[in-house]
Amino acid sequence: MPKIQRALLSVTDKSGVAEFARVLASLGVELVSTGGTAKLLREAGLQVRDVAELTGFPEMLDGRVKTLHPKVAGGMLAIRSNAAHMASLQDHGIVAIDMVVVNLYAFEEAAARTDASVEHLIENIDIGGPTMIRAAAKNYQDVAVVTSPADYASLAEELQASGGSLSAATHWRLAKAAFDRTAAYDRAISSRLARITMEDGAFSDQPPEPVPAVLDLHVGRSLPLRYGENPHQGAALYCEGGGIAGAEQLQGKELSYNNLVDLDAAWQLILEFDGPAAAVIKHTNPCGCAEQDSMLEAYRKALEADPVSAFGGVLAFNRELDEQTAEEITRVFTEAIAAPGYSQGALKVLSTRKNLRLLCVNKPAASTLVVKSISGGYLAQTGDLHRLERAKAVVKTKRAPTEEEWVALEFGWKVVKHVKSNAIVYARAGQSVSAGAGQMSRVDSVKVGAMKAELPLEGCVVASDAFFPFPDGVEEAAKHGITAVIQPGGSVKDDEVVEAADRLGLAMVFAGVRHFRH
């Protein structure tokens, strides 16, 4: 590629630009600049030519017009191998521009301000910047377009190694990044202004819609995966930031698609609890969960509910993982762990399991919107963030729950929300005992939960994610010694179900909220 002769620099984010410009100048590149960028470069001791000198036209309209000129656009868009293009430049006294270093007004920062006026938002919409970026990127084979300070170091290294030129591959990479940047910028403007309405000449700023009118799924790929759910399926992780997708992997084999799905299910469950809690997940369903006074006791209680299914599962904790708990974990084969932190002792213990994946999750998820693909489109919904308030729950039976039963019901209700429907959870205070998941009939989920139980069910409570359509589910649970039930209610046969509970001496609470999970 030809040596870069002339570069135009006009940046809002001025970090590193003087150092990069110094490298360009050392290679004999003529620097052309505007406004504050030109001032900064001069203060750094660099010789700079003003854009106004290049165009023969001064900056105007408070800086709104400075690079919107044929002598700028022409210098970027002329194809060097096109004789007619080069003749036009010569006829009109236009010089070629070989590099454009531009970043944009910080509209995203302005949009994030809760007190931003419409006028402030509009003034932070860049016009000349995107125009230059797109023009340079369109003529990528002749013009290098640099939109991010993060690229300065690698470009400087390449320029110095080559004596002042960049490879065709680098030109193409920069062009793609440039178009991606202007696309993201326009999306940010469009989505923010969409919330502003005007009536009788007055602006009104509306809160973001919980489910947006346009679903923007432009998210960068952060991690290619070996395969998807099965080896014949391709897969990758795309990260908006925070949560499991944005977690730091501290050790272990590379994460698989299924690891990530299970870890997310575990993490979402563990966030339900305020006290020290542990969750064991297998195929997205909790096979054990507990909230106790210590992390060690929480893990032990979670594991004892179904130690067979826990083999090869994933774990999540809502506190820093300590050394004692780590010692217990090493007794059972585990695929991956998610926690907000790990003590040095825990890391040392777990380092003996080289393949065990450890994730440090220390940031909340960037979005609460739940998105799934279906053939031909997408489904989106807000997250299920409901928490039971005892005062709003309705006792439907003659007998009200005891305090111990209430605590168990509240715990079971948190867990059943994270079990695949039809979902049934047998629970005690602070511990899930067993679960029936994914059955086509609710009474079968009750039976499966009882069949899988490793611990005694006598004295447990039952949580159901949706109403009991018939009394048979409650009657089946009662056979195993349960004492209380929590369910949403809403069946046409609610009266018959409550009557069965009274007949069996059970306490029954209607939460009034359904927790289907498909």
- Which residues, 6 or more positions from 107, have their beta carbon under 8 angstroms from its beta carbon? 121, 124, 125, 126, 185, 188, 189, 192
Burial of 61 by CB count in 10 Å (0-12 exposed, 13-18 middle, 19+ buried)? exposed
User: One of 14, 138, 253, 493 is an active-site residue; which one?
Assistant: 138
Whole-angstrom distance, CA of residue 103 vs CA of residue 266: 40
CB 485 within 8 A of CB 397: no
User: One of 3, 85, 283, 493 is an active-site residue; which one?
Assistant: 283
Three-state secondary structure along 316-339?
Answer: EECCCECHHHHHHHCCCCEEEEEE
Residue 283 annotated in active site: yes
- Which residues, 6 or more positions from 301, have their beta carbon under 8 angstroms from its beta carbon? 278, 288, 290, 292, 430, 431
Joined together, the tokens standing for residue 13 give 């984010």
Q: For residue 162, count other CB atoms closer than 10 A to its CB.
A: 15
Angle at 338 between CA 333 and CA 343, to 5 degrees: 90
Half-sphere exposure of 227 (CA within 13 A, CB side): 5
Helix residue ranges, H only, 271-383: 295-304, 307-310, 323-329, 344-350
Longest CA–CA separation in the chain, Å: 99
Residue 447 annotated in active site: no
Whole-angstrom distance, CA of residue 252 vs CA of residue 123: 48
Return the active site residues.
138, 283
